[in-house]
């Protein structure tokens, strides 16, 4: 059962095998929890939201378009659940999530495709440095970097998960990298 693909597990669940959904949850529990935790920044709330994500997944699994990637679908549920939570909580101004693109067209044109200086990796506390640098980024930019470098998503998958155009994701990614680099060096 564990070797089955996401799609096969969903088909098996829809045919009546209740265990399939448990395998699917087990497979995505860690990445979804990490995603939500990075988004929200609080472990207790991340637990509740993660639970909500999987309940929403279960509720909508019959409507799930099997032509779409399950991974991007479940991450888009996680993103929406996290945003809903933040909206309710109003912990951060919601304007931060909207209409960011085109804010500084000059930044978009800058080249960031150069490797990081090796001194960065020589630091002992690089983990905590990176953590605090990431906290300085906008939640959405932070998510893009996490999905790209932690969860190894392609830009297309990030765009589908976050429900944004591919080019917006790419420019946000560029901007986030510039900002992160500035914070680290």
Partner 1 sequence: MHPLIVLVYSDMKKDYERLFTSLKPMEPPIGLFERIILAIKREKELQNTRRILFSFLCLLIVSVALAPFSWNLLEKQAVNSGIIQFLSLALSDVNVFISSWQSFSLAILESLPVMGIMLFTINMALALFTLRLFLYKKRLLLSYLMKKAY
Which residues make up the interface to partner 1 (CB under 8 A)?
21-22, 25-26, 29-30, 33-34, 37-38, 43, 47, 50-51, 54-55, 58-59, 112-116, 120-121, 126-127, 130-131, 145-146, 148-150, 152, 177
> CB-wise, 66 or 154, nearer to partner 1?
154
> CB-wise, 48 or 98, nearer to partner 1?
48
Shortest Cβ distance from residue 55 to partner 1 (Å)?
Answer: 5
Shortest Cβ distance from residue 33 to partner 1 (Å)?
Answer: 4
Query: CA-CA distance, 66 to 68, in Å (whole number)?
Result: 5
DSSP state of 137: S
> CB-wise, 94 or 185, nearer to partner 1?
185
**Contacts of residue 28, Cβ cutoff 8 Å, sequence gap at least 6:** 54, 71, 74
DSSP state of 104: -
The SS3 of residue 99 is: coil
Helices (H), ranges, 41-165: 43-60, 70-89, 105-109, 118-122, 126-135, 139-145, 155-162
Shortest Cβ distance from residue 90 to partner 1 (Å)?
Answer: 25
Shortest Cβ distance from residue 66 to partner 1 (Å)?
Answer: 20
Query: CA-CA distance, 7 to 73, in Å (whole number)?
Result: 12
> CB-wise, 30 or 89, nearer to partner 1?
30
């Amino acid at each position: 059962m564990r070797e089955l693909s996401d799609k096969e597990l969903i088909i098996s669940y829809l045919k009546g095998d209740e265990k399939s959904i448990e395998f699917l949850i087990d497979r995505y529990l860690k990445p979804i929890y990490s995603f939500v935790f990075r988004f929200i920044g609080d472990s207790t709330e991340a637990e509740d939201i993660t639970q909500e994500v999987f309940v929403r997944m279960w509720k909508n699994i019959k409507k799930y378009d099997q032509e779409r990637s399950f991974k991007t679908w479940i991450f888009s549920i996680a993103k929406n659940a996290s945003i809903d939570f933040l909206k309710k909580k109003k912990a951060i101004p919601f304007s931060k999530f909207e209409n960011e693109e085109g804010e500084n067209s000059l930044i978009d044109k800058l080249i960031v495709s150069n490797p990081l200086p090796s001194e960065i990796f020589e630091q002992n506390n690089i983990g905590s440095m990176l953590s605090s640098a990431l906290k300085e980024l906008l939640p959405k930019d932070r998510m893009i970097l996490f999905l790209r470098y932690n969860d190894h998503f392609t830009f297309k998958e990030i765009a589908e998960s976050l429900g944004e155009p591919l080019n917006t994701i790419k420019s946000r990614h560029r901007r986030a990298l510039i900002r992160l680099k500035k914070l680290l060096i």
